Amino acid sequence: MFETFKLLLRFIVRRLINFGSHNEAHYLCAFAFLLLLPTIVFADTETRSSLWTMSLNRFQFTEQYRGFLDIQPRFTVDDVPGGDNGSVDTILIRGALGYQLKPNIGIYQGYAIIPTYDPDRVEHRSFQELLAKHSLSGAAELVHRLRFEQRFIEGVDDTSLRFRYFARFTYPLDQIHDNLSLAINEEVFIHLNDTDGPRSGFNQNRLFVGLNYRVSKSFAFEFGYQNQYVAGQGSADDVVNHIAFIGMQSNFSFID
């Protein structure tokens, strides 16, 4: 598993650094979809519905040094059988410091604490990520993120390792409003090792489609629908989570 993952990671990083065509962007986005397709076609699923909220705050300390703080309260509206309805499911608090290798490529080291309440447990998480942004024609933008996580989960003896690939496409909707953009996110999660909790292999996929409204250069709102597909472990069924998403994004610069 690790050798395959390392080869795959090298391939994606080379494509991100040497990114040079729209066809390349289409290829990388299609790659995430192809990873997900077999699980969609063959899996038995249960469904749930949720409300996720987000406050994402980005900081620019110098030309090279950046950071972010992400806070996400998540609420269950209609849970799977045996779950709790109308309750706080998770509160995610995640921060990181980063360094820009190029104007459009940055690396980050971060930490997250994630208490969950169904079941009750706390997860501590260290992570490293590479973030690459690319401008496309018509003021559209494509963002890639590669994230490697070390998860310390209450009740799990071993450290769980997970890889995440995230792609985000935004396109301005000037014909509707000057400050409005279409936003599409796709993210694939893969467990890299076996523990007495998470097992290696495909973990989940998240697909988001929504609208981003920029109030100013430093502040925006985002809302839309997110589909979360989570692979079941052992005899557990896979779960499809229908999520209403509401987010706030802010940017702070400390450069005079």
User: pLDDT-derived band of residue 118, with 50, 70 and 90 as boundaries?
Assistant: confident
pLDDT recorded at residue 41: 47
Question: Closest by alpha carbon to 60, among 216, 256, 213?
Answer: 256
pLDDT digits (tens, 9 = 90+) for 191-235: 999 999 999 999 999 999 999 999 999 999 999 999 999 998 877
Q: Where are the domains of the chain?
A: 2-253
Instruction: Decide which of 231 and 19 is more confident.
Output: 231
pLDDT recorded at residue 166: 96
pLDDT recorded at residue 30: 54
Q: Which class would CATH give 2-253?
A: mainly beta
pLDDT recorded at residue 137: 82
pLDDT recorded at residue 85: 73
pLDDT recorded at residue 38: 46
Question: Closest by alpha carbon to 126, among 156, 91, 160, 158?
Answer: 160
Whether this model's pTM surpasses 0.85? no
Question: Closest by alpha carbon to 130, among 66, 72, 56?
Answer: 66
DSSP-assigned beta bridge partners for residue 54? 247
pLDDT digits (tens, 9 = 90+) for 24-72: 445 445 544 544 454 454 456 889 999 999 999 999 999 999 999 999 9
Question: Is the distance from CB of 167 to CB of 146 less than 8 angstroms?
Answer: no
Cα distance between residue 121 and residue 244, in whole Å: 24
Cα distance between residue 52 and residue 223, in whole Å: 10
pLDDT digits (tens, 9 = 90+) for 132-175: 999 988 789 999 999 999 999 999 999 999 999 999 999 999 99
User: pLDDT-derived band of residue 97, with 50, 70 and 90 as boundaries?
Assistant: very high
Cα distance between residue 149 and residue 128, in whole Å: 7
